[in-house]
Amino acid sequence: MRLTFKIRSLSGALVSLFIAFCLTACAIGGDGTVSSKPSAVAVASAHPLATQAGLDVLAQGGNAFDAAIAVAASLGVVEPYSAGMGGGGFWLLYSAKDDQYHFVDAREMAPSAADKDYYLNKDGTVNRDRATNGPSAAGIPGQAAAFAHLAGQYGQLPLAKSLAPAIKQARQGFAIDDHYRKLLSYRLEAVRRYPSSASIFLNSGQIPDVGYKLVQRDLATTLEALARAGHDGFYQGPVAQRLVTAVQRDGGDWTMEDLANYKVVEREPIRMAFGNAELISAPPPSSGGIAIAQMLQMLDLYHWQSMSEADQTHLLIEVMRRAYRDRAEFLGDPDFVDVPTAMLLDPARAHAYADSIDMTKATPSLSLKGPKNIEEGFHTTHLSVLDKDGNRVSATLSINLPFGSAYTAAGTGVVLNNEMDDFSAKPGAANAYGLVGNAANAIAPGKRPLSSMSPSMMVSDDQVAILGTPGGSRIISMVLLGLLEHQQNKPVEDWVRRKRIHHQYLPDVVEYEPGALSQALQQELKARGHTLKNVGRAYGNMQAILWDRTTNKVTAAADSRGIGSARVVSVAK
């Protein structure tokens, strides 16, 4: 027997798809009767040195876009395990000058030598080592191109000024902390395999002690080349030649043409109304924006805020299950596959999915008949920035696994990503569940792999929320939970510290952080047929900013699960 619940009629649904090029008048968040400029600037990032770099650039007259470059470049120095010049990312921007949202896709691209069988052994099995370790695992990085693009199209300062803090940190060094040691231990054997990495990140072949000064002179020189020549300083000339020479010598297939052909792509953000607010999030090749929008659509058809804890948790699991099912089947690089965005965000689909949820028992994932989701590297990073004019940035950056491929291109200081592992290495083959892998995310030359990175904003007439997090395939569910905290008028600190649950369709398991589910709630969920798994550790590292335009107060928070820093600095009147 189903529990009864109220679903709003389709004609009265508050959820509708916003096309990003619609008239400004149809969007929420432009200047109104509330404050059009914040009383303070804010930077939230995963490392205190990176947050300070962003504030320094703002103090020098830079805007949010200049500051975001500074933060990201610094993170590439002080968090070499999370992001950097050898990786890429997604940048969600709001420009106050033209009252427009922009999305910059700086995701890595497959080299021209890669194809759908790139990681298959002669017997048809996947060569996991080649797909995750060394230069063969690396896509063409987009980070440097993103810096040049943001500085040229949106910034107020020369790129060199925004990169200056990172260059100084790389050349002079910084003291490592226990977080560095922990993540290096996770990839220690892989880092030891490559002398160019071991000589930088280890101390005589061992994990350095806390306080050890990590100096990256070659990386400083590479950043200086980018500062002088912009995009071409990385993708052409001596830096590019050093990258290609090292990669080809050590088993990879990059060419000078691969680097020269790399460009960022500006795409239309996902935009959707939710209650009295608007979600703005990442479009494909991110799977995040569509999945988050789908989950919000389904939730909006229920009185989710007034539900019991057990009902609300059950409902969250079920909407996650359905959104992740669609993620597995339909999403990929829109330059290569036809992503049915309108169909996925059609209110009729949300109604059908909502109507299929039985509030008394779990839906077996296999009954939804979709392919298995790919696994993603979990150690990414995120930054959020708000400036005095209301410009804002939400950016999620990655090299995939901690220390990426564990390979540093000699003479460059650039740790290469292993984002090629985010492709479906063997689409068309049945997995352990008897389901077929996602051909939409198959490897192809010049293609960008699907990603869960979900830099997001939620904007209403009176509030602006900026947030995102690392965490692999769990990013999407974490951002959803953060947005729901915001929608319940919780302070920004609650968004980032909320205990997390996750369901990604397959495996058919509810994962949860220690302390996220009480014993009573666990028993109730099990009684409804859910399989639960305590992951045994905290996960995620959300960075968030809230601008309340009715009070003109700005608050920010860094996730206590990490070592990050969120700073708010008042604007002089």
* 178 lies in some domain: yes
Q: Which residues are catalytic?
A: 380
7 has pLDDT over 50: no
pLDDT given at position 386:
99
pLDDT given at position 222:
99
Within this chain, do residues 65 and 210 fall inside the same structural domain, yes or no?
Answer: yes
| pLDDT per position as a tens digit, 385-408 | 999 999 999 999 999 999 999 999
Across the range 369-382, mean pLDDT stands at 71
188 has pLDDT over 70: yes
334 has pLDDT over 90: yes
Within this chain, do residues 324 and 409 fall inside the same structural domain, yes or no?
Answer: no
Q: Which helix (H) or strand (E) holds 150?
A: helix 143-153
Within this chain, do residues 430 and 502 fall inside the same structural domain, yes or no?
Answer: no
Across the range 95-119, mean pLDDT stands at 97
* 519 lies in some domain: yes
pLDDT given at position 378:
58
| pLDDT per position as a tens digit, 486-504 | 999 999 999 999 999 999 9
Within this chain, do residues 292 and 324 fall inside the same structural domain, yes or no?
Answer: yes
Ramachandran category for residue 406: left, alpha or beta (phi over 0 → left; psi -120 to 50 → alpha): left
Average pLDDT, the chain: 92
| pLDDT per position as a tens digit, 351-365 | 999 999 999 999 999
Residue 523's domain spans which residues?
Answer: 267-367+452-570
At CA 153, angle to CA 152 and CA 159, rounded to 5? 30
pLDDT given at position 440:
86
247 has pLDDT over 90: yes
Across the range 96-102, mean pLDDT stands at 98
Percentage of the chain lying above the pLDDT 70 cut: 91
The Cα diameter of the chain in Å comes to 69
* 252 lies in some domain: yes
Within this chain, do residues 407 and 486 fall inside the same structural domain, yes or no?
Answer: no
pLDDT given at position 35:
82
25 has pLDDT over 50: no
* 18 lies in some domain: no
Within this chain, do residues 205 and 353 fall inside the same structural domain, yes or no?
Answer: no
pLDDT given at position 36:
87
pLDDT given at position 497:
96
pLDDT given at position 389:
98
Q: Are 293 and 279 in contact (CB under 8 A)?
A: yes
23 has pLDDT over 50: no
149 has pLDDT over 90: yes
* 434 lies in some domain: yes
Q: Token pair of 162, please?
A: 């925004």
| pLDDT per position as a tens digit, 229-242 | 999 999 999 999 99
Across the range 211-226, mean pLDDT stands at 99
pLDDT given at position 374:
59
* 375 lies in some domain: no
Within this chain, do residues 311 and 240 fall inside the same structural domain, yes or no?
Answer: no
430 has pLDDT over 70: no
Q: What are phi and psi of 256, to 5 degrees?
A: -60, -35
pLDDT given at position 414:
99
Across the range 313-338, mean pLDDT stands at 95
Across the range 440-450, mean pLDDT stands at 94
Say how far apart CA 409 and CA 304 lie, in whole Å.
50
For the chain, how many structural domains are there in total?
2
Of the pLDDT bands very low, low, confident and very high (cuts 50, 70, 90), residue 12 is: very low
Of the pLDDT bands very low, low, confident and very high (cuts 50, 70, 90), residue 1 is: very low
Q: Are 10 and 347 in contact (CB under 8 A)?
A: yes
Among 421, 441, 461, identify where a domain stops.
Answer: 441
pLDDT given at position 425:
82
Among 441, 460, 475, identify where a domain stops.
Answer: 441
Within this chain, do residues 197 and 213 fall inside the same structural domain, yes or no?
Answer: yes
Within this chain, do residues 97 and 174 fall inside the same structural domain, yes or no?
Answer: yes
Of the pLDDT bands very low, low, confident and very high (cuts 50, 70, 90), residue 32 is: very low
Q: Token pair of 320, please?
A: 């996650």
* 376 lies in some domain: no
Identify the CATH number of the domain in which residue 299 sits.
Answer: 3.60.20.40
How many other C-beta atoms are found inside a 10 Å radius of the C-beta of residue 279? 26
pLDDT given at position 377:
57
Within this chain, do residues 526 and 501 fall inside the same structural domain, yes or no?
Answer: yes
Name every residue whose Cβ is closer than 8 Å to that of residue 218 and which is 6 or more positions away in sequence: 200, 411, 412, 413
Within this chain, do residues 222 and 294 fall inside the same structural domain, yes or no?
Answer: no
| pLDDT per position as a tens digit, 454-483 | 999 999 999 999 999 999 999 999 999 999
330 has pLDDT over 70: yes
- Half-sphere CA count of 398, side-chain side, radius 13 A: 37
Within this chain, do residues 437 and 465 fall inside the same structural domain, yes or no?
Answer: no
Across the range 368-383, mean pLDDT stands at 74
* 447 lies in some domain: no
